[in-house]
């Protein structure tokens, strides 16, 4: 009888979970709350089902729900891995899922690159469509002072390239079961990621142009800002991996959580290289560098 009920396949039937439903409710709440938040900032009303929802709290409730869902869902996934549910077939499919997620992120950034190149190649049409000032038929728009690409942007490029090296070193150490080196390289990667974020915040604070002043500022801040957001997410991802490494969760044979974080971090590196060469360098040709 016991043999009849024994598991004789490599597939894992997922246990009933409330997190997809709760996560969907949280995401919907966050989306509606974002609209309500923006209406509240404009001192406007936002009526839905006869109620004025113009306030910031609905958005924060949605964010908190999504964040807790992420924590709880991933905690359940880690428990499944420790139970031995993540066989070779399951691990392969988890990798497929991560590859598809990164591919969707690539298309997300393609949209921002498309917006930047469209605005730079068709300057006056883009300015008219965005309801901003006439660009003067040049790019960057006339009267806009831009950042020196060989100052802070180049420094941040070196930082991210170094972080890509350290996270690869950490992966190599994990495969060879060098626990001390794994933790050290993970810590250095996290430190470099935090340093990158601080430098970008400094750059934004002292940028000679604003988001709403021109199509250049709008496309610049959207592309680089979303990349900065992904660096923040990747840094949190790596911090979780560091705590898990300290707890002894990863083994040379099974470490998909760390592998997914490393893939994501390399994706962030590659996107930044495209941003640096296209937006900071190519996009600044002919422009006036701010002092």
Q: Under a CB-based contact definition with an 8 Å cutoff, are residues 36 and 49 in contact?
A: no
What pLDDT is attached to residue 33? 93
Higher pLDDT, 92 or 25: 25
Tell me yes or no: is domain 9-85 CATH 1.10.760.10: no
* pLDDT of residue 28 exceeding 90: yes
Same fold, 9-85 and 86-289: no
pLDDT band at 1 (very low <50, low <70, confident <90, very high): very low
Summarised one tens digit per residue, pLDDT across range 30-81 is 999 999 999 998 888 888 888 888 899 999 999 999 999 999 998 988 888 8
d(CA 283, CA 7): 58
Confidence of residue 233 (pLDDT cuts 50, 70, 90): very high
CA distance 200 to 205: 9
Is the Cβ–Cβ distance between 190 and 232 less than 8 Å? no
Is the per-residue pLDDT at 15 higher than 80?
no
Q: What is the pLDDT of residues 145-181, one digit of tens each?
A: 889 999 999 999 999 999 999 999 999 999 999 999 9
DSSP secondary structure letters along 222-236: HHHHHHHHHHHHHHH
- Looking at the chain, which runs of residues are DSSP E strands? 47-48, 51-52, 145-146, 288-289
Specify the pLDDT at position 125.
62
Calculate what percentage of the chain has a pLDDT beyond 90: 59
Class of domain 86-289: mainly alpha
pLDDT of residue 5: 53
- Tell me the pTM: 0.85
Alpha carbon distance 55, 149 (integer Å): 40
Task: Sketch the domain layout of the chain as residue ranges.
Answer: 9-85, 86-289
- What letter would DSSP give residue 284? G
Closest residue by Cα to residue 170 from 94, 263, 101, 271: 263
How many CA within 13 A on the CB side of residue 61? 13
Cα separation, 38 vs 130, whole angstroms: 19
DSSP label at 146? E
């Amino acid at each position: 009888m016991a043999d009849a009920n024994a598991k004789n396949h490599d597939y894992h039937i997922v246990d009933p979970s409330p997190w997809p439903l709760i996560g969907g409710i949280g995401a919907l709440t966050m989306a509606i709350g974002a609209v309500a938040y923006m209406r509240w900032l404009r001192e406007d009303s936002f009526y839905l089902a006869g109620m004025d929802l113009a306030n910031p709290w609905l958005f924060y409730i949605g964010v908190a729900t999504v964040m807790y869902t992420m924590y709880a869902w991933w905690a359940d996934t880690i428990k499944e891995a420790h139970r031995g549910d993540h066989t070779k077939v399951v691990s392969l499919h988890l990798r497929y899922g991560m590859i598809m997620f990164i591919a969707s992120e690539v298309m997300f950034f393609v949209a921002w690159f498309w917006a930047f190149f469209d605005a730079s190649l068709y300057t006056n049409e883009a300015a008219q469509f965005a309801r901003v000032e006439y660009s003067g038929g040049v790019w960057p728009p006339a009267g806009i002072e831009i950042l020196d690409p060989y100052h802070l942007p180049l420094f941040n490029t070196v930082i991210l390239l170094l972080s890509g090296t350290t996270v690869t070193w950490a992966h190599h150490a994990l495969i060879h079961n060098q626990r001390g080196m794994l933790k050290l390289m993970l810590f250095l990667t996290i430190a470099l990621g935090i340093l990158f974020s601080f430098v970008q915040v400094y750059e934004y604070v002292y940028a000679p142009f604003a988001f709403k002043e021109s199509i250049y500022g709008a496309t610049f801040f959207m592309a680089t800002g979303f990349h900065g957001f992904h660096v923040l997410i990747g840094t949190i991802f790596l911090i979780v991996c560091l705590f898990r490494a300290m707890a002894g969760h990863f083994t040379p044979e099974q470490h998909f959580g760390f592998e997914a974080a490393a893939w994501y971090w390399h994706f962030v590196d590659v996107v930044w290289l495209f941003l640096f060469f296209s937006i900071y360098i190519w996009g600044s040709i002919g422009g006036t560098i701010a002092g």
